[in-house]
Structure 1
Amino acid sequence: MAGIPRIHPWGALQFWVGNLHKFACAPRGTAALVASGPHAQSLHPLVDSWAAPEPFPARFDQQGTIDVTSYLAAPVAFATVEEHYGWDAARRYIAELGDYAQAIVTEALSELTGTDASAPVGSPVGGLRLVRLPRGVAADQEAAHGLRHDIAVRLGIETAVTSWRGHGFLRLSTHVYNTAEDFEDFVERGVPFIVERSRAARTG
């Protein structure tokens, strides 16, 4: 699951915030806020509702007519991964597949472009990896969205493309429902598509 513990300037209070729709497989829009320490009661929703007088965390639990289906489904999602795979095994598989996917996509892009496609980010995060795209594609966020759309429409491959400081990046995301063959297929079809797009942008 995504989430970064934050130490509040007050000292003893710790926060954990995470979206559960990615690696925990809960429905989109499901997030968790965890707080501990003497100042936890200082946390309030941005918009007060029926539960406003309640203490933390109860004051977050009833926000008007919000649909709570995703939160009711979250425990089932957690249990399903544990039952079918086991979370420890799932985490290992996800991380190892992420390493493999990053290695073969980076190598393929580097070979076809003659430039280093690696994108060092320090410590890898679970099943998320970055690969630097060649110049001429995804130089800004609009172009990144356009590339993602074209890959989906023309190749039938779902990707995540972003832009940072004039450079495009491919975000690789792995889970237990992904296989090595998914990324090998992307190397075979997706990488040449991106490289051709880059060449066309530079010459046209």
Structure 2
Amino acid sequence: MAQVDDDVALIVLDQITSATARLMPVDRVGAEAARRGITLLVDGAHAPGLLAAPLDGLVCDAWTGNLHKWGCAPRGTAALVARGPLREDLHPLIDSWGAAEPFPDRFDHQGTHDATAWLAAPAALDFVDATWGWETARRYMDELADHGARLVAAAFGLPGTPEGPVDVGMPVPGMRLVRLPEGLGTTRLAADALRDRATAELGVEAAFTSFDGVGYLRLSAHVYNTPEDYEHFAAVCVPVVEKWAREAAAAPAPAA
């Protein structure tokens, strides 16, 4: 809040950061923003399913969260919550025949929009609840993410790679960070390139991220994951990633 002055009209804040899997103090920021009369939009992309009640105790003007991540709904399915006067000022980017309807109907009544994903979302959420129970599922995700992070972090043996998972300060269930060997994934573009390379050469889908010039492997766990997934990554993929790090360290510096 020290960066907020009288000219700030809108704060956009992640509820859970994508790059570092850290829970942000959105409740405290929301209370202070409300006191100062500043509109707060909370980006809760990872929150539905991962947090039991992402809106409980949260003071904000608008909140949005993806249901296709931890909620297992079809891709592109999200929820939008708006409170107070802001509700009347929110409009879809493209007007359709429902444009004159009040919020939220004008978002739902898009003439050619395929609503299949939205209609399937409750079935996806109910399936997880009926099969495992969301509380049990989150506990399993958290314990498995801990196990996977310890396993993968221990597999990295290059100098400059800290031992153990990264302490992000405010962790969330189901996601953990492991620092990559020095020199890998130091920018967002470099991290994205690592993700694409891992898919092409290793046959795995892995989240490589970057924050403050440091590259990370962001491990996630869901009910469809097992310890064998992380054991495979530690045994098969980590040695290859270490080879990439050695190659990057040996490469000549680009010409000035």
- 3-state SS in 2 of match to 1:77: helix
Which shows bigger deviation, 12-21 or 88-97? 12-21
Judged with a 3 Å threshold, the aligned counterparts in structure 2 of structure 1 residues 13 and 167 are, in CA distance, closer, same or farther, namely closer
Which one-letter code corresponds to 1:31 in the other structure? A
Corresponding residue of 1:116: 162
Whole-Å Cα distance in 1 between the matches of residues 83 and 188 of structure 2? 37
Which one-letter code corresponds to 2:62 in the other structure? F
Corresponding residue of 1:161: 208
Corresponding residue of 1:202: 249
Q: Deviations over 1:22-60 (max 9, x none)?
A: 110001100000123454333222332221211111111
Which residue, out of 126, 140, 146, partners 1:99? 146
Q: CA RMSD of the aligned region, Å?
A: 2.3
Corresponding residue of 1:34: 81
Corresponding residue of 1:171: 218
Contact 2:161 2:180 in 1 (8 A): no
Q: Deviations over 1:60-107 (max 9, x none)?
A: 112231211110110110111112111111111111111221222222
Corresponding residue of 1:60: 107
Whole-Å Cα distance in 1 between the matches of residues 197 and 85 of structure 2? 51
Q: How many residues align?
A: 201
Which shows bigger deviation, 100-109 or 89-98? 100-109
Does structure 1 residue 73 correspond to structure 2 residue 127? no
Contact 1:13 1:37 in 2 (8 A): no
Whole-Å Cα distance in 1 between the matches of residues 176 and 137 of structure 2? 17
Q: TM-score, normalized by length of structure 2?
A: 0.71
Q: Percent identity?
A: 50
Q: CA deviation at 1:115?
A: 3.1
Give the structure with the higher percent helix.
1
Gaps of 5+ in 1: none
Equivalent runs, 1:123-162 vs 2, <5 Å: 123-162=170-209
Q: TM-score, normalized by length of structure 1?
A: 0.87
Which shows bigger deviation, 135-144 or 10-19? 10-19
Which one-letter code corresponds to 2:231 in the other structure? E
Which one-letter code corresponds to 1:168 in the other structure? G
Q: CA deviation at 1:137?
A: 1.8
